[in-house]
Amino acid sequence: MSDKIQAVFGQFAVDLGDGPVLFKTEAEATTALSVYENGAEQRQLAADYCAHAGIPADSKNAKGKANVITAFLVWVDAGQPGPVDAPAEETAEEDEGETTF
């Protein structure tokens, strides 16, 4: 665990500038800290890649690719946490015996 993330009452607290914010998992806290500390740099790297690839900066294609690249950089910076748990609603539906083929 990062020294910037503290376990508090079964949750994880991290200071994101306006005071501490609590997260349910350490992975969520680590991801939020990555965005807070490195978000501008990550967005710039994504924009630089799109420019390198010849994708016009104001196009929807560039914005979509930049979002995916930025999300990837955040994931790497956060230590490549495992998959995010499914929302409670989806889990409840699966428990009711609904089967999808």
User: Looking at residue 48, what is its pLDDT?
Assistant: 93
Domain positions in the chain are: 5-83
> The sheet that has 20-23: what strands, in order across it?
5-8, 11-15, 20-23
Res 82: pLDDT: 78
Higher-confidence residue of 88 and 45: namely 45
Q: Give the CA-trace dihedral at 10, 17, 36, 26, to 10 degrees.
A: -10
At residue 101, the pLDDT reads: 46
Asked if residue 23 lies in contact with residue 32, where contact means CB atoms within 8 angstroms, the answer is: yes
Q: What is the pLDDT at residue 100?
A: 52
Query: Position of tokens 């929807």?
Result: 60
Q: Model confidence over 35-80: pLDDT tens digits? A: 999 999 999 999 999 999 999 888 888 889 999 999 999 999 888 8
| Cα distance between residue 58 and residue 50, in whole Å | 11
More confident residue, 98 or 44: 44
